[in-house]
Amino acid sequence: MRDLTDVMADSLDARATSLDGLRPGESEVAGLTARVRRRRVVRHTVEAAVTLPVVAAIAIGGWMLMGDRTGPPPVTTPTPSPTSTEPSPSPLPEETPAPEIVLGDPITEPGLPPYYPMPLGLLDQTGPGWGLGTYAPRAFDVDFSRWGLPETEVVFLVSPEGVRFEAARFDLATVDGTGTTWTEHELVSWQAGARTAVVQAVVYTVVTSSGTEDVEPGGLMTLDLLTGVVAPTVGDPPSDLGVLNLRGDLRLGTGAVTEVGTGTVLGSLDGETASGWCEPVAWWTADSILATCVDDDAYNLDIPHLELNPRLVTFDMAQLASGEGVILRPFAEGEQLPMLWGSDQVSDGVVVVQATTLTPGVLAAADCPSGVYLLTGETTERLPASDSHPDVELNIFEADAIGRTVYVESTGGCSGGARPSILTSYDLDDATFIELIGPPPRDGQAEYRWIQGLTSYVVGE
Amino acid sequence: MLEQVARERYPRLVAYGMLLTGSQAEAEDLVQNALVSTFSGRARFGTAAEAEAYVRRAVASTFIDHGRRRTADRKALVRAGGRAVPHTVEMTRGGLAPEVEGALARLAPRERACVVLRHMEDLSVRETAQLLRLSEGAVKRYVSDGVAALNATLGTTSPSEGEPVEVRRIATRRARRTRRPREVRRDA
């Protein structure tokens, strides 16, 4: 008598054979990729709601500090190497007559970048440029069929030179009656020098069989960086979408600019405008935005992106209302077209963007960022964060400009392969590039299997 | 990766969907929704085979979710005085596939999904319950009833639930066979 499982498997094989040659049409594939891209953008935007206002607040803080040089003095730390990826241990001398802190050998631990125990008194000496990062390493399981679970979450205190200190640690995954669940802590804000940081609890419940994870943002908590204790705190999690202008009175959301406080919509780039089909990139000045525009709906057509005449366009608020912007410049083959999100304004007419390289025949729905660039009205300069890490194929870049320092969180995933994030800083004035938090080290793996390390970060306000 | 899976794995994914729907058109809709769901999510894949395994599971969960919506729609239609349209199944004469698809079509949708996941995907009762958002008890009952009905219709045998089940680890086996160095692709 036949076995049911065998019969079902043979039936599947037979049906697949009978359908051999069945393919979705080009337009159907383009439609699928467009739907995926939009859902990713929406998901990213929703997730960014947790961090963007904070980033904006940090950016404002950095801008104000530039005008107020009486702020906290910079901490002098070991001389940064222009391409340093793994700072060597060295003393951390201070400008003030604080006792010199001598570091020994860094701690190496599977899944974590090298780090040091946090010396007593170090936290008090931190200033602008210091940051915090949460790190929860995850890897594929042994046969690469599904994600493993994170077992630990470490909160690193990170110096401007990329020296990491363990500030707190949490054991993660537990199995309760409903499945595997754990709570991570996403950094929301931190004042450099302060003993506590504000974090948001995020509860993950994994459906192991499907690889999907239910993500439930929780309330705000105060994390004591000396004891590692978290406690509920008063306040609402940040929820507003979008990025504030440097003046802080206007917010650029997904396509629309609104007034902070009143919520009045000043204009949007939703759908077709008098300037074409446009997507916002970043604030260009405090009263204008930078956008890319094309001739037609790039995501619902089988027309390669390049053939839709992509161009950079600026809109002030009046132009945004009318849809008639000012063309800065067109793009040609091989040039870098900024993408919808991941960009930030550095100063008037200067933005840092993730961009795709325009290639003949490639549809907009298939675009992946090729790097992160400093863009002006006339020039495009590739930044070092674009360069590949040996173990990580980088094709997603999210930039935050704080003063003249550009922080970039780089990761993979646009082309399908999960990769951990890398946090770097780049000083636009002296061209110093530093890897602040890298991916989990290879640890002798023949095939790199880490898919997550850094999960959130804040730069001290 | 999305384009690669959509182009290279499409017939097999649609065939899988037809085990659940009995209809090629519905299966194609199901597969396309599952592709979008899978590639919009957090999971990322090193090979098309890995992705296919995820999409298959998404096909099953999407099928049940659509069933929930169809049920709600039918109830609303009945309340409004309309007449619910029965779920239709395409039948092609002859061959093993139509025979099995026809037998599955006689099961309730949840029974169908539970049997397919347990016997084609080698999921545990708990994993099946989590994926379909059912209780473990319900999964056991659906599988038991479904397998009994299929055995009666198809003249097959199957170990009863609770006993060791030797199943064909199709997805895992294929993933091992086809794994290759990751490549840089300009896909979604």
DSSP A379-420: -EEE-GGGSPBTTB---EEEEEEETTEEEEEEE--TTS----
Q: In what order do the strands lie in the sheet with A250-252?
A: A243-244, A250-252, A256-259, A265-268
At which residue do the structure tokens 């929704």 appear? B33
pLDDT of residue A238: 63
B127 CA to centre of own chain: 14
The Cα A195–Cα A224 span in angstroms is 6
Q: Do A415 and B171 touch (CB under 8 A)?
A: no
State how far the Cα of A46 lies from the Cα of A59, in Å rounded to an integer. Answer: 20
With contact defined as beta carbons under 8 Å apart, do A454 and A134 qualify?
Answer: yes
CA distance A412 to B44: 10
Among chain A residues, CA nearest to B179: A144
Spell out which residues of chain A touch residue B126, defining contact as CB-CB under 8 Å.
179
pLDDT at res. A193 = 94
Residue indicated by tokens 């299966």 = B27
* 3 state SS of A116: strand
**Whole-angstrom distance between the N-terminal and C-terminal Cα of chain B?**
6
Measured in angstroms, the CA of B142 and the nearest CA of chain A are apart by 16
Rounded to whole angstroms, what are the CA distances from B174 to A316, A428, B115?
55, 49, 21
Looking at the predicted structure, is the pLDDT value of residue A35 above 50? yes
Q: Measure B66 CA to nearest chain A CA, in Å.
A: 17
Task: Of A223, A227, A194, A224, give the one whose Cα is nearest residue A123.
Answer: A194
The phi, psi pair for B120, rounded to 5°, reads: -100, -30
pLDDT in tens, A433-452: 999 999 999 888 778 888 88
Which neighbouring-strand residues pair with A278? A293
- Find all residues with CB under 8 Å of B173, minimum gap 6, and list them: none
- Using CA atoms, how far residue A15 sits from A10, A219, A325, B167, B169, in Å, is 9, 50, 54, 19, 18
How far is the C-alpha of A353 from the C-alpha of A435, rounded, in Å? 19
Separation in Å, CA of B33 to nearest CA in chain A: 8
pLDDT bin (cut points 50, 70, 90) of residue B174 is very low
The H or E element containing residue A87 is none
Question: Would you call B11 and A20 a contact, using CB atoms and an 8 Å cutoff?
Answer: yes
Q: Find out whether A113 and A453 touch, Cβ atoms under 8 Å.
A: yes
Q: What is the pTM of this model?
A: 0.60
Lowest-confidence pick of A26-30, A243-247, A272-276, B149-153: A26-30
A5 contact B CB<8A = yes
Which pLDDT belongs to residue A326? 97
Helices (H), B41-162: 48-79, 96-105, 109-120, 125-132, 136-154
Query: Mean pLDDT of all residues in chain A?
Result: 80
Give the pLDDT confidence score for residue B66 in this predicted structure: 64
pLDDT of residue A158: 97
Q: For the ranges A288-302, B43-57, B138-152, which has the lowest average pLDDT?
A: B43-57
**A421: Cβ contacts below 8 Å, ≥ 6 apart:** A409, A410, A411, A437, A439, A452, A453, A454, A455
For residue B97, give the nearest of A3, A15, A367 by CB distance: A15
Nearest Cα to Cα of residue A66 among A314, A258, A347: A347
Report which DSSP code applies to A21. Answer: T
Average pLDDT, integer, range A131-141: 92
Which residues is A216 bridged to in the sheet? A203
CB within 8 A of A349, min separation 6: which ones?
A284, A285, A376, A377
Q: Which residues of A35-51 are buried (b: 16+ CB within 10 A; e: fewer)?
A: bbbeebbeebbeebbbb
Nearest-Cα distance to chain B for A144, in Å, is: 8
Per CB-CB distance under 8 Å, the chain B contacts of A18 are 15, 95, 97
Residues 6 or more apart in contact with residue B65 via CB below 8 angstroms: none
Q: What does DSSP assign to residue A124? A: G
pLDDT of residue B44: 60
Q: What is the pLDDT of residue B67?
A: 56
State the pLDDT at residue A402. 92
| CA–CA dist B142, B139 (Å, integer) | 5
On chain A, the residues whose CB falls within 8 A of the CB of B178 are: none
Name B57's Cβ contacts closer than 8 Å, sequence gap at least 6: A209, A210, A211, B117, B121, B123, B131
Residue A258, number of CB atoms within 10 A of its CB: 19
Q: Confidence band (pLDDT; 50, 70, 90) for B108?
A: confident
Contact of A417 with chain B, judged by CB distance below 8 Å, is answered with yes
Residue B126 clears pLDDT 90, i.e. is over it: no
- Among A336, A332, A334, A368, smallest CA distance to A353 is for A336
The SS3 assignment for B2 reads helix
| Distance from the A199 Cα atom to the nearest Cα atom in chain B, whole angstroms | 22
Eight-class DSSP state of A335: P
Structural tokens at position A401? 């400009």
Inter-chain touch B158–A2, beta carbons under 8 Å: no
Asked if the model's pLDDT at residue A317 lies above 70, the reply is yes
Residue B58's pLDDT is: 84
> Which of B141, B126, B139, B16 is CA-nearest to residue A206?
B126
Residue reference for tokens 């100063």:
A347
Q: Per-residue pLDDT averaged across A393-401, rounded? A: 87
Give me the mean pLDDT over the A178-191 stretch: 87
Residue B187 to residue A33, Cβ atoms within 8 A? yes
Distance from CA of A386 to the nearest CA of B (A): 15
Is residue A289 predicted with pLDDT exceeding 90? yes
Helix (H) / strand (E) element for A218: namely strand A212-224
Mean pLDDT score, A139-151: 77
In A, which residues are within 8 Å of B150 by CB distance?
4
Q: What is the mean pLDDT of residues A286-311?
A: 88
Identify residue A401 by its one-letter amino acid code: A
pLDDT at A408 over 70: yes
Low-confidence winner among A296-305, A410-419, B18-27, B134-143 (lowest mean pLDDT): A410-419
**Mean pLDDT across the stretch B145-163?**
79
Q: Which residue of B has its CA nearest to A209?
A: B127
- Residue A288 clears pLDDT 90, i.e. is over it: yes
Radius of gyration of chain B (CA): 17
Note the pLDDT tens digit of each residue in A89-127.
444 444 445 556 677 889 999 999 999 999 989 999 999
**Lowest mean pLDDT segment, chosen from A21-35, A36-50, A52-66, B115-129:** A52-66
In chain A, residues 78-117 whose CB comes closer than 8 Å to chain B: none
Q: Are A77 and A89 in contact (CB under 8 A)?
A: no
- With CA atoms as reference, the chain A residue closest to B41 would be A212
| A371 chain-B contacts, CB cut-off 8 A | none
- On whether the CB atoms of residues A199 and A221 are closer than 8 A, the answer is yes
Q: Residue A210's pLDDT is what? A: 52
Any residues with CB less than 8 A from the CB of B101 and at least 6 apart, and which?
A: A11, A15, B18, B19, B22, B89, B91
